Structure 1
Amino acid sequence: MATDVVVPTLGESITEATLGQWLKKPGEAVKADEPIASLETDKVSVEVPAPTAGVIAELVVGEGDTVNVGAVIARIDAGATASTAATPAVEDRNAIGQAEAAAPAEPAAAPVEDAGDPVTLSPSVRRAVLEHGVDPSKIKGTGKDGRLTKDDVIAAAKTQPKPAAAAAAPAAAPVAAAAAPAGERREERVRMTRLRQTVASRLKEAQNTAAILTTFNDVDMTAVIEARNKYKDLFEKKHGVRLGFMGFFVKAACMALRDVPAVNASIEGDEIVYRDYVDVSVAVSAPNGLVVPVIRDAQDLSVAGIEKTIGDFGARAKAGTLKLEEMKGGTFTISNGGVFGSLMSTPIINPPQAGVLGLHRIEERPVVRDGQIVARPMMYLALSYDHRLIDGREAVTFLVAIKNAIEDPTRLLIDL
């Protein structure tokens, strides 16, 4: 008996999603509650579990299709086994459907499939595999259930021996020549993910609605680096998490937001909403891009509590298990572009928030201390804010408070 697999309830006000990736193929056996597909919503990827044990009989929609809550996306032969349920008709029909669905959007994926690779790859991972010329079957995935991510492919490409790559080039040459004649200019059209569409829409909304202005400062990271180097081993031993810089910045932001409450406020209609709590949104990397979970009541957390929360967010973002409610309701955002090498940027606020703090890379620069030119580890800070709500004086005061707390971390302990 066939059992329908339907799109589950995705959260308040979310009525549709995009089928991001099939995790199972027709003819494959599944267990009850085993993930069989990944849905992309406006904020996060959600896995669809099998409602019963059996064998995948049919995939009703293709990757990239938009589906509504409650819609049927697949059918399972309940109680069947892989050896008895998969018929040539089902397999052929699905193969044709998948080929038709994949051909317009993913023409470059054929070499990976022709090579006999049994690994199910998302479009972004396929592109990375082809771009870097690596064998996906030899890469250990770090995503959910061991699936490959784009970061896994890039890391494997960096460690791939160059001689081996050179030796493999002649064998691959005929395929490359057949697929792309010399001198041919290529283009590839890839449908935007729902997450990317939402990000684009919200960023443009912020620019159209808020009066965004950015103020800059720089901060000497010497004291924080010395404190981290001195206590990082004891910190990790006691708390089970690494001591990073974000804990210091979140604590400093909480203190500065208390002193300059307008940066933690928002505009609702013709009213300004001030808050006595701080819910800090922090950007973390996920396989499909950056996501922004929220540290609730950050003003009540210690540096260790903040680091534990961020570490948990990072692990679950990589595994794709963050919940929608964990990414709603932030009052202020901290974005660390420095981990990617950014020297300076003008971040865009996340409505209805009124401010976002941008952190950047640390590099030694010449500065003057006590009349002497010395080299110090410096970081540029950027605060983008909604000028409708926050005056320049308040913005500068807030950023200077962050700078003072980081350059003298004792302030975080004695609440100055």
Structure 2
Amino acid sequence: MANDVTLPALGESVTEGTVTRWLKAVGDQVAADEPLLEVSTDKVDTEIPSPFEGTLLEILIDEDEDAQVGAVLARIGDPSEQGSAPAEPEPEPAQEAPADEAPAEPAAAETPAEAPAEEAPAPAASSGGGRDVTLPALGESVTEGTVTRWLKAVGDEVEADEPLLEVSTDKVDTEIPSPFAGVLTEILVAEDEEAEVGAVLARIGEPGSAPAPQAAPAQEEAPAPAPEPEPDSAPTPAPAPAAPSSQTPPPPPPPAPRQEAAPAAPAQSAPQAEAVGASAPASTGSGYVTPIVRKLAAEKGVDLSSLAGTGVGGRIRKEDVLSAAEAAAKAAKAAEQPAAPAAEKPEAKVSELRGQTVKMSRIRKITSEKMMESLHGMAQLTSVVEVDCSKIWALRAKSKDAFQDKHGVKLTFLPFFTRAVAVALQEHAFLNASVDGASIVYHPSVNLSLAVDTPKGLMLPTLKDAEHKTVAEHAAAITDLAQRARDGGLSSDEISGGTFSVTNTGSGGTLHDTPIVPSPQVGILATCAIIKRPVVVKGPNGEDVISIRPMVYLPLSYDHRIVDGADAARFLQTVRALIEAGDFADELGL
């Protein structure tokens, strides 16, 4: 029975497409998953693969004509089912003739008889020889994905939940696990091809199942008898499935390869072109080269004829074009730059303090005394959380220029952290406290002591009533206090009254820290360097995926006499939730 080839959905809101080129002609043999035609829409140019194996019986939508999604483009089936061409049944007696002549030419009779016998099980395996592996939903509003890499080949054993292929969407790159165990019998969506959510990607049969795509080896074996007999008439009926397909349409190209088949080398290239479907022209930018790849090559200035494709059948993929463009760019850059790498060698700076003995400054002496008093006067402990800064990273990136234009100060990451700390301390009052003899004083407001590195030493100016200030006000106050701390313009009231401390050790590239709590406070939070690194996160379906995220460590040192580890952990989780939510846009005053 003939099978209809319909126009699949080509993306959200895409309802129709234009047939730009048919890659096969009526009468041609088509393998399952082999590119059949090219379609162009207002969003994408792509190839449509054949969903089944057989002979192209009829083309219903000609080139340059439009078709709605779901419309029948062509029909594929057995040549005997072609109703539009009455001449098609005539080859059947021709195929039966060798069977009648079996006593005279047994070798020629067996060859055509075996070819249909091998083709018959192939469709059976593709239609019912296994269970379907479909493309699962990959997130809200994601309707399609691109197969970037198959991790298994046809014929491989696959375990349940074992990674089977990699799929890329506009939101996530992820692996698709096999839903069941068995043998991969058929791949329906090739690499670099798109598939709708719910589309069948592959089929997996029971252990020991024969792979479905055995028709391709049959075509490859068919050319083998061609060079063996010297007469051309004997090999001609041997590839029975391919011969009618090339003789049905009147164009002259099919006879030309057969005349060139007399030499041994051309005889091998002609059957390969019929079986694979123009894999050789892939290197010249036709055949397997999709419009997207051609467009990309034109944009990158890459000559397709110079590339050797890494895809199936020598197909040139996007990765081949990008690799060639990158190699050309590196070669051009290397040619432009003269050789001067020696200038990059860092020069060691020699401190003027080497070999000297100096008296401690007043600030340095007070700092050392306070640090020793704090370290030995309380039971200090440090707890750390790791925080994903993606939201504030993106918010700062898009707002920093407008923020500086309006407020006159730079928007750094520190105001986001101090704002989150001030909000969290309202809930976790045990950290916004101090010890007074045998009593604990829980302060009514959040006054943040900010560690500032100055030429005279460490200073702790105070950002008072921090819980009532926005991110914009935090940024302005931090800039003002830090500048006046370095210039010596702070009053005594502005360096006292702190109830909790924040130190930005990440400004110097520090990845981790264990800060000392300044007495009489009971807590200090360090904001370390924000570094992009690969982390394991949850994908849209709850699966584990690796993603590049800007991450930061937040160490909290606290007085264990009045703050328990569980209390400290709860405070850190609140700060973490506020940062990862990144809901600060309305506090920027833009």
How would you bin the TM-score normalised by the shorter chain? 0.5 to 0.7
1:206 aligns to 2:374 (yes or no): yes
Provide the residue aligned with 2:552 in structure 1: 379
Please state how far the C-alpha of 1:281 moved relative to its aligned partner: 0.6
SS in 2 for 1:290: strand
Provide the residue aligned with 2:365 in structure 1: 197
Structure 1 residues 342 and 246, CA gap change in structure 2 (3 angstroms): same
Provide the residue aligned with 1:93 in structure 2: none
Please state how far the C-alpha of 1:386 moved relative to its aligned partner: 0.3
By relative contact order (CA 8 Å, sep 6+), the higher-ranking structure is 1
Please state how far the C-alpha of 1:194 moved relative to its aligned partner: 1.3
Give distance in 1, aligned partners of 2:525 and 2:405.
30
Amino acid aligned to 1:334 = V
Structure 1 residues 330 and 412, CA gap change in structure 2 (3 angstroms): farther
Which residue, out of 350, 358, 361, partners 2:529?
Answer: 361
Provide the residue aligned with 1:227 in structure 2: 395
Provide the residue aligned with 1:344 in structure 2: 512
Please state how far the C-alpha of 1:235 moved relative to its aligned partner: 1.5
Deviations 1:322-379 (A, max 9, x none): 2222110100000011111111010000110000001111112221112111121111
Give distance in 1, aligned partners of 2:402 and 2:585.
19
Amino acid aligned to 2:531 = E
Provide the residue aligned with 1:280 in structure 2: 448
Amino acid aligned to 1:340 = G
Amino acid aligned to 2:486 = K
1:407 aligns to 2:589 (yes or no): no
Alignment of 1:255-266 (within 5 A): 255-266=423-434
Which residue, out of 308, 332, 338, partners 2:476?
Answer: 308
Structure 1 residues 412 and 334, CA gap change in structure 2 (3 angstroms): farther
In the alignment, structure 1 segments of 5+ residues that lack a partner are 1-161, 167-185
Give distance in 1, aligned partners of 2:493 and 2:583.
35
Deviations 1:306-325 (A, max 9, x none): 11111111221222222222
Give distance in 2, aligned partners of 1:413 and 1:398.
24
**8 Å CA contact retained: 1:218, 1:380:** yes
Runs of 4+ in 1 over 2 A off after TM superposition: 411-414
Which residue, out of 451, 460, 466, partners 1:298?
Answer: 466
The structure that has the greater radius of gyration is 2
1:389 aligns to 2:557 (yes or no): no
Amino acid aligned to 1:242 = K
Amino acid aligned to 1:336 = N
Give distance in 2, aligned partners of 1:283 and 1:361.
16
What is the aligned length? 233
Amino acid aligned to 2:489 = T
Please state how far the C-alpha of 1:242 moved relative to its aligned partner: 1.4
Please state how far the C-alpha of 1:207 moved relative to its aligned partner: 1.3
Provide the residue aligned with 1:126 in structure 2: none
Give distance in 1, aligned partners of 2:373 and 2:458.
18
**8 Å CA contact retained: 2:532, 2:549:** yes
1:398 aligns to 2:571 (yes or no): yes
Structure 2-normalised TM-score?
0.38
Identity over aligned pairs, percent: 40
**8 Å CA contact retained: 2:367, 2:458:** no
**8 Å CA contact retained: 2:395, 2:585:** no
Give distance in 1, aligned partners of 2:486 and 2:400.
24
Amino acid aligned to 1:385 = Y
Query: Which structure carries more helix by proportion?
Result: 1
Which residue, out of 245, 250, 253, partners 2:413?
Answer: 245
RMSD, aligned α-carbons: 2.2
Please state how far the C-alpha of 1:246 moved relative to its aligned partner: 1.6
Alignment of 1:77-96 (within 5 A): none
Structure 1-normalised TM-score?
0.54
Give distance in 2, aligned partners of 1:283 and 1:364.
25
